[in-house]
Amino acid sequence: MQGVTTKAPASAAAGQRRTPIQAILFQLRAFIALIILFGFFAVYSDSFLQTNNLIILTKQVAINAILGIGMTFVILTGGIDLSVGSVVGLCGMVVGGLINEGIILPMFGVVIYFNVWIVMFLTLLVGMAVGAFNGVLVTRFSVAPFIATLGTLYIARGLALLRNNGATFPNLIGDPELGNTGFPKLGTGEILDLPYSIWIMAALALFATFIATKTPFGRQIYAIGGNERAARLSGVRVKVVTLVAYVISGFCSAVVGLIITSQLVSAHPATGQSFELNAIAAVVLGGTSLSGGRGTIGGTIIGAFVIGVLNNGMIIEGVSSFWQTVITGIVIILAVIIDQLQHRLQERNVI
């Protein structure tokens, strides 16, 4: 009627006003958690903000973050990679064997030793090969990602143990006469007073972000995780893209294997145990949905920092390692609960 005005209910109007804030809070939850943790430990610990501690903290974060970058691509497709920790150990044993023993060719009676750059390149190829193996199991043989990568977890760990009968490859400094020296520099070298591992993390994060947001491959990754059937019907080569995601995860695992082995100047077959759990935790805390199709590389990096700050702060405060494990588990569960809540609210168009 003319001259008559209508007014939306106050509750509806308030709901409309709250919606943007809710969405922002959900999207920034990992960053908010990081700020709270950082502020808490900065206030209650005199040594937390010391430069040496922050560098150590970031070095620890770099390991989880690099693994998390590869894991993010896999989870975005709706899959998961439980083998990354074992691949870290396997790649460490590969580089250790190549430096200390070389490649023995008994039929020719010779031993081949490679330059350290070639050693690292071959190690990266091993990690990518394991990733490709996972990808083939998932895409060609239709094995569930959880089962496929769980099996690879045991295979890779077993191969790491077999490489030197369960023993360690010590003193990976190489021999000048063989031309294979310089490997420890990867773990001890610095640029602008920051360890190489931090720069590697930053470079991989920037490159991965570019791939995920600015390339057709990145868009296809999200499309597969969002709706695999729709992606296939739209022309996406689902099997190829999924396989490449697992190769990326294997590559990142190999990078971590090289970094840790270089830092320790030795290779042990048990290296990397439970690393897959921290990588998955970083991805989930960063807001990537375990069902695929939603998440960011930046969120994973923040998630890795949340775990790193939490662990570092608890160590400084003298919290028992047992309680550290319990608290980390609780944080992961809360992150998954919040992710599921966000998913349900989005389905109901509440946020």
pLDDT tens per residue across span 207-246: 999 999 999 999 999 999 999 999 999 999 999 999 999 9
Number of folded domains in the chain?
A: 1
- Paired strand residues for 68: none
Q: Is residue 125 part of a domain?
A: yes
Residue 110: beta bridge partners? Answer: 105
- The average pLDDT across 25-36 equals 85
Residue 321 lies in a domain: no
Does the residue 139 lie in any domain? yes
| Distance (Å) of CA 95 to CA 26, 90, 184, 275 | 42, 9, 12, 19
- Decide if 257 contacts 200 (C-beta within 8 A): no
Residue 42 located in a structural domain: no
Tell whether 28 is covered by a domain.
no
pLDDT band at residue 155 using 50, 70 and 90 as cut-offs: very high
Instruction: Give domain status of residue 31, yes or no.
Output: no
- Tell me which residue has tokens 């770099």: 62
- Token digits for 14? 């308030």
Band the pLDDT of 6: cuts 50, 70, 90.
Answer: very low
Q: Which domain holds residue 145?
A: 61-295
Q: Looking at the predicted structure, is the pLDDT value of residue 350 above 70?
A: no
How far is residue 312 CA from its own chain's centroid?
Answer: 18
Residue 287 included in any domain: yes
| Alpha carbon distance 153, 158 (integer Å) | 9
Average pLDDT, the chain: 90
Domain-embedded: residue 202: yes
pTM here is 0.91
SS3 90: helix
Q: How much is the average pLDDT of 157-173?
A: 96
